Amino acid sequence: MRIRLTLQLVNRRQNLLPINYNYELSSWIYKTIYHSNAAFADFLHSNGYMLGGKRFKLFTFSQLLVPNGNCYFEKPDRLRINSAQVHLVLSLCIPAVAEHFITGIFHEQTFSIGDQYSKVPFRVLNIEALAQPTWQPSKVYRFRCLSPICISQGRKATQQQAKYCSPEADADIYPQLFFNNLSNKYLALQQHKKEVGNKQLAPLKTKQPEDPNVGFDFGFKLLSTPKSKLIQIKSNSKYPIKVRGYTYDFELTAPPELLHIGYMAGMGEKNSTGFGCVEMLK
């Protein structure tokens, strides 16, 4: 399911937001779900959908979308919001039986995000359910990032951490890594359904992710100049984590199963911390 939340600034004078707000926003989403369904929230936070030792949370959210660009950077790490309202897109790849409680739990919620220097209080003013596209095989779809897409290459023995890839500078490997991520998410969801005895999804009719991305209907094409975004997760902790993603427009051709899970759960990695949310372009 996919919803758009309209958030009202409770106090227009409190409108200075730290630019690294992803973790706080993710924490609010978890807490809100927890108060409605603790078991499901614990599953998302602690377990998720497992495949080969990897964990997929299968939900994502956009950056705060400020109407008409009424915001600007103030100081190196602050964002000034000059708007009474902002929007947030929240997208979850969840069982149909769980959808009924998601929309209602965010109604009129109040929360604050920020740090010890500045906080912005919000109230959920409106919730809009967004229609899901009908995916067609062999059709080219165009997308725009609502939050950065993070794609990484596995860490080598000589590296301290994984390499965050650029869709432009690493164009030779980026499409394959992009496909691998989508495929693994689908297979993780499939494995979970098998474990709980639900076989409503058919097996993915394409090659396994370790195969080269040739010989089946998959294609990735960059449509705009990527903008690099370095986002710090858990900024207030002793060990903050820096993650690099890129925002851009792109074309994607893929099996309908992968298009669906990428659109609903997020493209690329670290979706549950606010990466990989996209919208479809007409």
**217-257 tens-digit pLDDT:** 789 999 999 999 999 987 777 778 899 999 999 999 999 99
pTM of the model: 0.85
For residue 119, the model assigns a pLDDT of 94
Residues whose CB is less than 8 angstroms from the CB of residue 86 and which lie 6 or more positions away in sequence, other chains included: 6, 7, 9, 64, 65, 66, 67, 122
Task: Evaluate whether 149 touches 68 at the Cβ level (below 8 Å).
Answer: no
For residue 128, give the nearest of 147, 108, 109, 103 by alpha carbon. Answer: 103
Per-residue b or e along 217-229, where b marks 16 or more CB atoms closer than 10 Å to that residue's CB? ebebebeeebeeb
Question: What pLDDT is stored for residue 204 in this prediction?
Answer: 38
In this predicted structure, what is the pLDDT of residue 50?
Answer: 62
Q: What is the pLDDT of residue 88?
A: 97
Low-confidence ranges of the chain (pLDDT < 50): 157, 199-215
Burial letters 11-33, b for 16+ CB under 10 A, else e: eeebbbbbbbbbbbbbebbbebb
Q: Which pLDDT score is estimated for 46?
A: 60
The helices-and-strands tally (H runs, E runs) of the chain is: 5, 18
Phi, psi dihedral angles at 94 (to 5 degrees)? -130, 160
Domains of the chain: 2-281 (3.30.70.1900)
Write down the pLDDT at residue 98.
Answer: 62
